[in-house]
Structure 1
Amino acid sequence: MQHDVVIVGGSYSGIAAALQLARARKDVVVVDAGQRRNRFAKASHGFLGQDGQAPGAIADQARAQLLAYPTVTWVEGKAVAAMAKDGQFCVTLENGEERTAQRLLLATGVVDNLPDVPGLQERWGRGVYQCPYCDGYELDQGHLGVLATNGFWYHQAMLIPEWGRTTLFTNGIGHPDAEQRAALARRGVTIEEATVSGIDGEGVTVHLQDGRSIALAGLFLVPWTSFASPLADQLGCVLEDGPMGPFIQTDVRKATSVPGVFACGDAARAAGSVSLAVGDGAMAGTAVHQSLVFG
């Protein structure tokens, strides 16, 4: 089917982009696989006007408001391929259906790849967190932990004491030098170098291989991320390496290196949040519309 714009991804950035295009009366189809990145969290914080609301409720309300516009079509399904074809972009869904448009917007998001620590995955978003701005306040200045996972561990360990007394679990990955140790000590961070063997309990209890256990109000880590969709690679979009994983390179108007292809949200940022995703989407939606007018 033919449209003005195909948006792949129906989470916060994709809906925000579609809303701008709908208000410009463009024929837009949103293809959504239904896998919001923050689906594991009980509540979303820091998003103006929606602080503390359930992430799914925010997304459902936004989708209902979007679908009130008659030029918007919502397709539930996974986009598995995209290609330029006769000056258009053709997106193929897993069921073989094709959608074609003059412009393509990737709001495909990323996947958080967690360390292989027993009990960690089950508590992601519910005791184990990434973003202190999103989840730190509710931990009520309790004892917090930082689990080293990649090169971002030092930044996070220095930051988390704003929200509570902090223990850094180096877990064989973080290796603070003398200068870093001194800086962490000034921030009141305790360094724990025993290997983590597992996590369980309310809040979280971190179990160490030497037999000790440390109860925490919450544990923070920075996961490695990977693209939730192969489309950017298929289209040949230029990528950048970020501190947590690759992301799609865009200009200030969210255009990728491939003419006619735009990207927004977590797949097109080094790091993100709901607020940033919505802002990205609004920028991308207006930019896509203006590209249709001015070329």
Structure 2
Amino acid sequence: MEDALDFDIIIIGGSYAGLSAAMALGRSRREVMIIDSGKRCNRQTPHAHNFLTQDGEKPGIIAAKAKTEVLEYGTINWLDDVAVAGFKQEHGFSISTQSGKHFSAKKLLFATGIKDIMPDISGFEACWGTSVVHCPYCHGYELRDQPTAILANGARAVHLAGLVRNLTSDLTVLTMGPADFTAEELSKFNKHGIAIIENEVSEILHTDGQLEKILFKDGTAKDCGAMYAAVPFLQHTILPESLGCSFTESGLMKINNTQETTVPGIYACGDNSNMLRSIANAVYSGNIAGAILNKVLTDEQF
């Protein structure tokens, strides 16, 4: 006889992706527990963009409305807590939380996002998500026509420069050291009037998160109103790794076309497993994950 499990699915992470998955599951009357630490990846961003019906809305308002809607479904449960340990059981998984609670479920869904690692540049973190950003689709239109910097080198800088040059004619690439570009890439920069500065950035001067000037370690400075930065990241939780999940070279969780990780029964959605970081994509991937999980459970039970 199978052990009694508390839930069909435990969703770790209750932001846009996790809530989207929970809505799909709630509408199929699946018993779900959402465990959320309250640390949305975009909590510093003042307004959300490029998301139909919510363009310009505050991300916190979108998340709060989503939570209210999802919890209208009676089989969805919510816990403000941090999942700290996970174990494979004979018929599913168990999760323990920081407050000492324990739950079990047939399947796990990680919707935990990622944690950006800020460079050691004074003022950078204060501007992050406002005038120092990662994505031209999420922020570019609002930052258009300003003197703009790209803090990146190599292929990442080339990628961003190609996207951002349509938003501003005043564009400078900051490589933080010797530039790493091919002759062809340098020719493209020259063709489009994109400058390259190899000096290291020491400080970002700003007012309430609005970038005004970039200071360099050699004592020079540059007036600037916006910056795109390719920063490294870590997974928000080590639980997937502790459970045996594999990761890509860039640090994202490996998933297949059904959003299942390399560990059977463990799924992932949102920023932790997809490089397309946006609310719209998080909602999309969560919706797909919820539908897939419901189908998997249906196939096991029907």
TM range, smaller chain? over 0.9
With 187-196 and 283-292 compared, the bigger mean Cα shift is at 187-196
Aligned to 1:287: 292
CA distance in structure 2 between the partners assigned to 1:37 and 1:201 by the alignment: 22
Structure 1, unpaired ranges of 5+: none
With 73-82 and 141-150 compared, the bigger mean Cα shift is at 141-150
Contact 2:94 2:102 in 1 (8 A): yes
Contact 1:4 1:26 in 2 (8 A): yes
Q: Secondary structure at the match of 2:107?
A: strand
Please tell me the residue identity of whatever aligns with 1:123: C
Contact 2:25 2:32 in 1 (8 A): yes
Q: Secondary structure at the match of 1:250?
A: coil
Q: Secondary structure at the match of 2:214?
A: strand
Aligned to 2:176: 171
With 142-151 and 110-119 compared, the bigger mean Cα shift is at 142-151
Return the offset for 1:218: 0.5
Structure-1-length-normalised TM-score: 0.95
- Seen in structure 2, the aligned counterparts of structure 1 residues 18 and 199 have a Cα distance that, compared at 3 Å, is same
Please tell me the residue identity of whatever aligns with 2:240: A
With 144-153 and 114-123 compared, the bigger mean Cα shift is at 144-153
Q: Secondary structure at the match of 1:81?
A: strand
For 1:122, which of 109, 123, 126 is the aligned residue? 126
Percent identity between the two aligned chains: 33
Aligned to 1:230: 238
Contact 2:153 2:174 in 1 (8 A): no
Q: How many residues align?
A: 292
Q: Secondary structure at the match of 1:241?
A: coil
1:34 and 2:38 equivalent? Answer: yes
1:1-295 matched pairs, under 5 angstroms: 2-148=6-152, 152-164=156-168, 165-172=170-177, 174-202=179-207, 203-204=210-211, 205-242=213-250, 246-295=251-300
With 119-128 and 201-210 compared, the bigger mean Cα shift is at 201-210
Please tell me the residue identity of whatever aligns with 2:180: H
Please tell me the residue identity of whatever aligns with 2:249: D
- Seen in structure 2, the aligned counterparts of structure 1 residues 120 and 149 have a Cα distance that, compared at 3 Å, is farther
- Seen in structure 2, the aligned counterparts of structure 1 residues 173 and 255 have a Cα distance that, compared at 3 Å, is farther
Please tell me the residue identity of whatever aligns with 2:296: S
- Seen in structure 2, the aligned counterparts of structure 1 residues 79 and 200 have a Cα distance that, compared at 3 Å, is same
Return the offset for 1:113: 0.7
Q: Secondary structure at the match of 2:165?
A: helix
Return the offset for 1:157: 2.4
Structure 2, unpaired ranges of 5+: none
- Seen in structure 2, the aligned counterparts of structure 1 residues 230 and 98 have a Cα distance that, compared at 3 Å, is same
Q: Secondary structure at the match of 1:185?
A: helix
Return the offset for 1:191: 1.0
Contact 2:94 2:103 in 1 (8 A): yes
- Seen in structure 2, the aligned counterparts of structure 1 residues 277 and 174 have a Cα distance that, compared at 3 Å, is farther
1:200-234 deviation per Cα after TM superposition (whole angstroms, max 9, x unaligned) = 12432101123222121201111111100111101
Contact 1:7 1:106 in 2 (8 A): yes
Return the offset for 1:266: 0.5
CA distance in structure 1 between the partners assigned to 2:249 and 2:44 by the alignment: 26
Return the offset for 1:151: 5.2
CA distance in structure 2 between the partners assigned to 1:184 and 1:114 by the alignment: 27
Contact 2:178 2:198 in 1 (8 A): no
Return the offset for 1:57: 0.5
CA distance in structure 2 between the partners assigned to 1:201 and 1:270 by the alignment: 29
Q: CA RMSD, aligned part only?
A: 1.4
Return the offset for 1:149: 6.1
Contact 1:115 1:149 in 2 (8 A): no
